[in-house]
Amino acid sequence: MTASLDTIAARVRVCTQCELHRMRTNAVPGHGNPDAEVMFIGEGPGWHEDRQGLPFVGAAGQFLNEMLQSIGLSRDEVFITNIVKCRPPGNRDPLPDEIAACSAYLDAQIAAIKPKVIVTLGRFSMARWFPNERISRIHGQPRRFGDVVVVPMYHPAAALHQSSLRATIEADMAKLPQILEEARREAAAEDAPPPPQQMRLF
């Protein structure tokens, strides 16, 4: 049985599985459509996210919203979450044991939502599917893992103030509608009944 998103969120809010729970104001389980076709996975909550209990509500979030809007997606039709659900103090990088402790929640969210496409934002969520890869080499390139297509992208906070990265993430994001369309076609082909066998007489 898969847990519902609400059940997962309720567990995250009271979770004490790693040290990050000690410093949090609010855990940030994630936000969006339970039936989302596209899921975005960032790094971890920042100051604003910790205050509000919502993902990507600061400057990086504003930039993400603008990019989503530019490709005809709204925040409410996708699902947005992070690799760790509680804010690392001072916005330091999440530690390996914190990522490991939190990963079951992300597993459960993916199992509940069953997205067609996952966009990883930054290297920590990328590493879950592409360990040992470099983001500069593989950004924007979709790769299928079973039922889901994963597209690594730069982190919007890194891209926001660096014009070359900004152009890169915008170009990668612009490819997303086509990647989603292809993923939909592949999913529909999987679901379709096999074509009728033609009778062969000889």
Q: Which residue has the tokens 């993902």?
A: 55
84 counts as binding ligand SF4 under rule CB under 6 A: yes
Q: Between 37 and 98, whose beta carbon lies closer to ligand SF4?
A: 98
Query: Which of the listed partners (ligand SF4, ligand URA, none) does 21 bind, with a CB threshold of 5 to 8 Å by partner kind?
Result: ligand SF4
Q: Between 56 and 130, whose beta carbon lies closer to ligand URA?
A: 56
| Beta bridge pairs of residue 86 | none
Structure tokens at 89: 């103090």
Q: For CA atoms 4, 11, 75, 173, give the dihedral sign.
A: negative
99 counts as binding ligand SF4 under rule CB under 6 A: no
Residues 26-45 as x/- pattern, contact with ligand SF4 by CB under 6 A = -x------------------
Closest contact distance (angstroms) between CB of 97 and ligand SF4 is 9
Distance CA 81, CA 118 (A): 11
87 counts as binding ligand SF4 under rule CB under 6 A: no
Task: Scan residues 46-105 and list those touching ligand URA (CB under 6 A).
Answer: 46, 49, 55-56, 58, 60-61, 82
Residues 44-83 as x/- pattern, contact with ligand SF4 by CB under 6 A = ----------------------------------------
Q: Are 116 and 184 in contact (CB under 8 A)?
A: yes
Q: Between 32 and 61, whose beta carbon lies closer to ligand URA?
A: 61
Strand 117-121 vs strand 143-145: parallel, antiparallel, or unpaired?
unpaired
Q: Between 56 and 154, whose beta carbon lies closer to ligand URA?
A: 56
Q: Among 40, 18, 11, 29, which Cα is nearest to 153's?
A: 40
Distance CA 40, CA 42 (A): 7
Q: Among 44, 41, 48, which Cα is nearest to 25's?
A: 48
Residues 144-183 as x/- pattern, contact with ligand URA by CB under 6 A = -------------x--------------------------
Alpha carbon of 33 to those of 74, 109, 123, 141, 162: distances in Å?
10, 11, 24, 25, 31
**Contact set with ligand URA (CB under 6 A):** 42-46, 49, 55-56, 58, 60-61, 82, 157
